[in-house]
Amino acid sequence: MNSDMLIRITRYYRALNRLRAIGLEKVFAHNLSDAAGVSAAVVRKDFSLLSIHGQKRGGYEIVDLIEKLSAILGKGDPQNVIVVGCGRIGKALMHYSGFEPDGIRVVAGFDTDPVVYSDVSHPVPVYPLSRLEEVIEALGVRVAIITVPESSAADTAEKLIDAGIKGILNFSPITLKAKPASEGGSQCVIHNINIALELEQIFYQLQFPDTMK
Amino acid sequence: MNSDMLIRITRYYRALNRLRAIGLEKVFAHNLSDAAGVSAAVVRKDFSLLSIHGQKRGGYEIVDLIEKLSAILGKGDPQNVIVVGCGRIGKALMHYSGFEPDGIRVVAGFDTDPVVYSDVSHPVPVYPLSRLEEVIEALGVRVAIITVPESSAADTAEKLIDAGIKGILNFSPITLKAKPASEGGSQCVIHNINIALELEQIFYQLQFPDTMK
């Protein structure tokens, strides 16, 4: 499966959970095509590649589809994450309700500032960064979100990988890359969300609409 | 210019501003290649495509490069944005310092909750959503960030477009698409940042490392 197909499948999965939540039992390819931003033909093709077949009269049972996509996406295990850097964005993510429908849960935060980690009003426990390795091992967490300032992002990523983290979502404005195994790096999946860069691209596209492919 | 090249150019531009800030005057292709995550050969090729040439002894003057890339990226005009939805993520973005090096400025916030827009402690003025059109016109803003709950995201986008917004960065978990002109849509560039979806993809890649291209 390539990454475009994976994105579509996770979108179908999200949409299905929402449709079930509002009481629907059956879904058609064009319902899912709206959610994933593709044509109904692509939805049918994806399902056919995954050996998922509709009913004779058309349409799919939502519960059935959720179960099948869930197996494909490797759901079932809890999808626990930690947040490293509990400034405004980190705090917003600790409180974020948009993770729940996907079974993602923020289980702990980390910060270097005693004022922050001594504060007990956070929705999840916040620990000093020095306890990273111990807490990661105790909680069995494999994925971390980095929301530290730009100047400490690279250092934080290194600490996380040393402590056993295998996946990182980086919000700091520098682009983090996984070190290849040939350079002594241990395997880690890194995704970067660069908010300023996204805005830059929008401004650019407005300025020069004809130059974009 | 395709979008990959645009992303590289904005990365070069960011890196150059940071290098200048720490007092450097000259830069080499391999300095920029680190920042953009490409090889030095790609940097040289990009610059050559843009008719930017280095000095005889190698390297480029940073001030000179910034000026040239600035013109290419259409900088100069203030890059003002508004934040619609002043919950935790919206507030974090109003306070976000990562926009400054790129010349991006959040100039106003909007919310439907009187408690939120009557609060004067925000770093920028926050207005009731009903004043959207008036304020957008007065400030001459063209780009908006959507940080409202999922249930009102589509409606908010429509209001923004009706009020003259031409570019949207959407943080809500539903994927917003620009309506094509053939369906009566006015042109609007929409980028979606789906935090849960990024995490889902990381979990998937950890589960099935061999299935990703």
Q: Do A93 and B168 touch (CB under 8 A)?
A: no
Q: Are residues A61 and A104 in the same domain?
A: no
Last residue of a domain, one of A72, A100, A119: A72
Judge if A64 and A159 occupy the same domain: no
Tell me the pLDDT tens digit for each residue of B26-41: 888 888 888 788 898 9
Q: How many CB atoms lie within 10 A of CB A206?
A: 18
State which of A72, A97, A125 marks the end of a domain: A72
Closest CA to A143 of A129, A161, A125: A161
Residue A211 lies in a domain: no
Instruction: Nearest by CB to B37, from A14, A88, A177: name it.
Output: A177
Question: Is residue A104 assigned to a domain?
Answer: yes
Question: What does the pLDDT average to over B152-176?
Answer: 93
Indicate the pLDDT class of residue A213, thresholds 50, 70 and 90. Answer: very low
Residues A107 and A138 grouped into a single domain: yes
Query: Which of B163, B157, B159 is CA-nearest to residue B140?
Result: B163
User: Any idea of the CA torsion for B180, B185, B188, B190, to the nearest 10 degrees?
Assistant: -60
Q: How many CB pairs under 8 A join A and B?
A: 183
A154–chain B Cβ distance below 8 A for any pair: no
Domain shared by B67 and B99, yes or no: no
Same domain, B107 and B59: no
Tokens coding A80: 């626990």
When divided into structural domains, chain B yields a total of 2
How many Cβ atoms are within 10 Å of B49's Cβ, its own excluded? 10
B26 DSSP β-pair partners: B61
CATH number at residue B45: 1.10.10.10
Q: Are residues B46 and B143 in the same domain?
A: no
In this structure, are A54 and A119 located in the same domain? no
Mean pLDDT within A68-83? 83
State the ipTM, two decimals: 0.77
Instruction: Establish if B205 belongs to a structural domain.
Output: no
Residues A54-74: tens digit of each pLDDT: 876 778 988 889 888 888 887
For B110, the 3-state DSSP assignment is: strand
Tell me if A55 is assigned to some domain: yes
pLDDT tens-digit map of B97-154: 888 877 899 999 999 999 999 998 899 999 999 999 999 999 999 999 999 998 899 9
Q: Is the pLDDT confidence value at B56 over 90?
A: no
Assign residue B116 the CATH number of its domain: 3.40.50.720
**Residues A151-165, mean pLDDT to the nearest whole number:** 94
> Is residue B211 pLDDT above 60, yes or no?
no
So what's the pLDDT on residue A210?
65
Residue B158 shares a structural domain with residue B113: yes
In this structure, the answer to whether residues A26 and A91 fall within a common structural domain is no
CB pair distance less than 8 Å for A89 and B92: yes
Q: Is residue A192 part of a domain?
A: yes
Asked if A203 and B10 count as a contact pair (C-beta separation under 8 A), the reply is: no
The answer to whether B25 and B62 have CB atoms below 8 angstroms apart is yes
What is the rounded average pLDDT of the residues A22-26? 81
Output the six-digit token pair for B199: 């995490």
The answer to whether the Cβ–Cβ distance between B92 and A88 falls below 8 Å is yes
Confidence at B21, pLDDT banded by 50, 70, 90: confident
Which pair of tokens denotes residue A130? 């020095």
A127/B14 Cα distance (integer angstroms): 33
Same domain for A178 and A151, yes or no, is: yes
Mean model confidence pLDDT for chain B? 88
Whether B85 is in a domain gets the answer: yes
- Could you say which of B42, B72, B102 is where a domain stops? B72
Look up tokens 């940073």; give the residue: B62
- Domain-embedded: residue B11: yes
Contact A200 B102 (CB under 8 A): yes
- The answer to pTM > 0.90 is no
pLDDT tens profile A105-114:
999 999 999 9
Give residue A146's pLDDT: 98
**Could you tell me how far CA B200 lies from the centroid of its own chain?**
23
Asked whether the beta carbons of residue B202 and residue A88 sit closer than 8 angstroms, the reply is: no
Nearest-CA distance B135 → chain A (Å) = 20
Does the beta-carbon distance from A73 to B205 stay under 8 Å?
Answer: no
Say how far apart CA A60 and CA A178 lie, in whole Å. Answer: 40
- Residue B206 resides in a domain: no
- Domain region containing B33: 3-72
Verify that B94 and B165 share a domain, yes or no.
yes
Which residue does chain B place closest to A172, by CA atoms? B98
CA distance A212 to chain B (A): 5
* CB-CB neighbors (< 8 A) of A101 in chain B: 173, 196
Does residue A183 or residue A43 have the better pLDDT?
A: A43
Do B145 and B174 belong together in one domain? yes
Whether residue A151 lies within 8 A of chain B, CB to CB, comes out as no
